[in-house]
């Protein structure tokens, strides 16, 4: 198969949702329909048990189990699907953001009872930053949920994206009878069954035919005709380019637990979703079809085996063909590495692979050479852009408790930051260090791992900080003046970029007004 054919058959996407909307269930059902697993319950997901949320050891255990399901690849109807799992737990939101940089499109699950929830709003913002095409799956139609029109309105207003329903529910909850496909004018009737794996579609040649009344009842048929006429009038046919540009989200309705609507979603997804797309290396857009291999690391999983400090770096292939055993250029370290071990992820199994193509995710065994954002090429210099750090929410100062172990503490902190567990900010004045995270949990993780893996001990003292703002200015003199006047509040991030550590919202506003020539950024890429 040629490189172009290999690319054309691949689809790399992630499923996002607020916890409990049904991401795990949908993932599992997609794998069942794809034939990658044989029975439900076989996949342990990245889902973190809410009961365990204060017990991070338990969470680490669950994360360990979930490595194999971080990426699930399977073949379906001639396509190779790479499905990337994203942790639902909000304390691991950064992990999810980074995973989204490695996908070409997203399926967003919304609970029809709860509607759009906060975590989905945040994730959608990340999708919008990169114009990632989004399909929405409204789940749990077997329950009494909100009116479907209200749900569409809510997606449009809360997620700031236009919607385009491709299926429409007939009833809901107790009266749920199935969905009518506006995309291919067919009817899928609902039976509540967690076992049954077929989803039959009956083509409806004429929506006004009495056949429809027989199938779903007179009143329901009348209502459906009215809905379809209205929806056709408002939305018309879907322009796939609007979806591919990330401007319009096609919407499906279903019930994942009952295997309903899942096949319709999968089949339509394969027809409209994007092939692996290009990525920007420094300033240059690299096309997947370029002959030379390149890729970037978007996730690092440590503690694969507690006895050895080995890690697995997840790399997305961006262009060309990856071949195991080749020497590839590590652009940050400016040297070549021979990649002798690489794994692919097939549903629950990991297997050694010899080659991979754009869109594929491969796992590279790592003894500390990689950090998030690292780029491998066949010689070209530069870094794949698009993996920004976001301003953390919680900050603590690191206080070394054991002066004899200063080196270990520094090494430990630096490696944990490479993995993206948290962000470290080094203050310009004195040697103060602030660690920033999105959730409390990370501090427990860091403290435990520093002690157990590096023999270092540190306290993390709460700091009164609101945001870390990356700063820049067109006029270097203005930047120098700003730094001089705010010296105590200036730090550097892991790449040496300047950051203004703002203590409160009000103070930040005041500083912004007093120094309007400074640009304040809430992500590290601008």
Q: Shortest approach of ligand G4P to residue 64 CB, angstroms?
A: 18
Least spacing, CB of residue 138 vs ligand G4P, in Å? 10
* Distance, first Cα to last Cα, the chain: 39
Which residues inside 433-492 make contact with ligand G4P, applying CB under 6 A?
A: none
Stretch that binds ligand G4P, among 18-26, 151-159, 216-224, 473-481 (CB under 6 A): 18-26
Q: How many Cα atoms occupy the beta-carbon half-sphere of 279 within 13 Å? A: 28
Q: Strand pairing partners for 13?
A: 83, 105
Residue 393 CA to residue 465 CA, distance in Å, equals 9
CB of 92 to ligand G4P, least distance (A): 13
Residue 146 C-beta-side C-alpha neighbours within 13 Å: 15
Token output for 434? 């602030």
- Of 212-220, 249-257, 370-378, 451-459, which segment contacts ligand G4P by CB under 6 A? 249-257
Listed ranges 65-73, 256-264, 289-297, 511-519: which one lies at the site for ligand G4P (CB under 6 A) = 256-264
Residues 36-65 that bind ligand G4P (CB under 6 A): 47
> Residue 140 or residue 489: which is nearer to ligand G4P going by CB?
140
CB pairs under 8 A, 24+ apart, for 147-154?
148/112, 148/172, 148/253, 150/115, 151/110, 151/112, 151/115, 152/251, 154/115, 154/116
What's the CA angle centered on 130, arms 129 and 133, to 5 degrees? 115
List the one residue from 6, 10, 16, 25 that touches ligand G4P (CB under 6 A).
25
Residues contacting ligand G4P: total by CB under 6 A: 18
Q: 331: which DSSP letter?
A: T
How far CA 377 is from CA of 4, 317, 331, 360, in Å, comes to: 19, 10, 7, 15
* Class of residue 352 by CB neighbours under 10 A (exposed 0-12, middle 13-18, buried 19+): exposed
Which of 14, 22, 276, 373 binds ligand G4P (CB under 6 A)? It is 22
What pairing do the DSSP bridges indicate for beta strands 134-139 and 105-111? parallel
Binding pattern to ligand G4P, positions 124-163, x when CB under 6 A? ---------------xx-xx--------------------
From 17-25, 236-244, 303-311, 461-469, give the range in contact with ligand G4P by CB under 6 A.
17-25
Taking CB under 6 A as the criterion, the residue among 108, 257, 361, 387 binding ligand G4P is 257
**CB 142 to ligand G4P: min, Å:** 5
Helix (H) or strand (E) holding 446: helix 441-454
With CB under 6 A as the contact rule, the residue among 9, 11, 23, 489 that binds ligand G4P is 23
Contact at 8 Å (CB) between 473 and 449? Answer: no
By the 10 Å C-beta count (0-12 exposed, 13-18 middle, 19+ buried), 519 is classed as middle
Q: How far is the CB of 89 from ligand G4P (least distance, A)?
A: 9
Measured from the CB atom, the residue of 139 and 331 that comes closer to ligand G4P is: 139
Closer CB to ligand G4P, 20 or 184, in the complex:
20
Judged by beta carbon, residue 253 or residue 460, the one nearer ligand G4P is: 253
* Cα–Cα distance measured from residue 36 to residue 45, given in angstroms and rounded to the nearest whole number: 15
- Selected from 3, 8, 20, 378, the binder of ligand G4P by CB under 6 A is 20
**What's the min distance (Å) between Cβ of 192 and ligand G4P?**
9
Among 19, 64, 217, 240, binds ligand G4P (CB under 6 A): 19
Q: Hey, what are 388's tokens? A: 């920004």
Q: Residue 46 Cβ, how far from ligand G4P at the closest point, in Å?
A: 8
Task: Give 255 or 524: the residue with its C-beta nearer to ligand G4P.
Answer: 255
Q: Which is nearer to ligand G4P, 145 or 274 (CB)?
A: 145
DSSP reduced 3-state for 213: helix
* Binding residues for ligand G4P (CB under 6 A): 17, 19-25, 47, 88, 139-140, 142-143, 255-258
């Amino acid at each position: 198969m040629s490189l172009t054919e290999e690319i054309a058959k691949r689809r790399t996407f992630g499923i996002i949702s607020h916890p409990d909307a049904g991401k795990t269930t949908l993932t599992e059902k997609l794998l069942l329909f794809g034939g990658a697993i044989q029975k439900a319950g076989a996949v342990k997901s990245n889902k973190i048990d809410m009961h365990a949320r204060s017990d991070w050891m338990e969470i680490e255990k669950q994360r360990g189990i979930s490595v194999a399901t971080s990426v699930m690849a399977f073949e379906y109807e001639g396509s190779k699907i790479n499905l990337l799992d994203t942790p639902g737990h909000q304390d691991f939101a950064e992990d999810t953001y980074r995973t989204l940089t490695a996908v070409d499109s997203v399926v967003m699950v919304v609970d029809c009872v709860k509607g759009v929830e906060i975590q989905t709003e945040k994730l959608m913002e990340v999708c919008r930053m990169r114009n990632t095409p989004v399909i929405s799956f409204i789940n749990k139609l077997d329950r009494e949920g909100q009116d479907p029109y209200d749900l569409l309105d809510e997606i449009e207003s809360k997620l700031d994206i236009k919607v385009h329903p491709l299926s429409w529910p007939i009833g809901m909850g107790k009266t749920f009878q199935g969905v009518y496909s506006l995309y291919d004018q067919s009817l899928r009737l609902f039976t509540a069954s967690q076992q049954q794996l077929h989803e039959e579609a009956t083509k409806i040649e004429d929506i006004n035919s009495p056949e429809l009344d027989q199938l779903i009842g007179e009143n329901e048929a009348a209502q459906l005709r009215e809905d379809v006429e209205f929806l056709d009038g408002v939305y018309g046919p879907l322009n796939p380019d609007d979806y591919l540009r990330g401007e319009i989200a096609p919407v499906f309705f279903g019930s994942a637990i009952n295997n309903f609507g899942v096949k319709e979603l999968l089949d339509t997804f394969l027809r409209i979703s994007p092939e692996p797309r290009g990525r920007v290396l420094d300033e240059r857009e690299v096309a997947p079809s370029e002959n030379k291999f390149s890729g970037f690391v978007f996730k690092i999983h440590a503690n694969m085996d507690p006895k050895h400090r080995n890690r697995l770096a997840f790399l997305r292939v961006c262009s060309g063909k990856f071949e195991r055993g080749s020497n590839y250029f590590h652009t940050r370290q400016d040297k070549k590495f021979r990649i002798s071990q690489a794994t692919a992820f097939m549903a629950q199994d990991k297997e050694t692979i010899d080659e991979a193509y754009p869109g594929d995710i491969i796992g590279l065994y790592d003894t500390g050479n990689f950090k998030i954002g690292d780029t491998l090429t066949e010689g070209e210099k530069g870094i794949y852009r698009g993996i920004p750090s976001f301003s953390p929410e919680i900050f603590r100062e690191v206080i070394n408790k054991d002066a004899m172990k200063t080196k270990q503490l520094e090494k430990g902190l630096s490696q944990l930051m490479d993995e993206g567990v948290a962000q470290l900010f080094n203050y310009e004045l004195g040697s103060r260090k602030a660690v920033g995270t999105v959730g409390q949990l990370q501090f427990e993780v860091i403290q435990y791992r520093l002690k157990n893996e590096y023999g270092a001990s540190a306290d993390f003292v709460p700091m009164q900080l609101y945001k870390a703002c990356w700063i820049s200015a067109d006029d270097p003199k203005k930047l120098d003046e700003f730094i001089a006047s705010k010296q105590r509040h200036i730090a550097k991030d892991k790449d040496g970029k300047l950051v203004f550590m703002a203590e409160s919202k009000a103070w930040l506003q005041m500083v912004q007004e007093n120094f309007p020539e400074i640009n304040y950024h809430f992500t590290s890429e601008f």
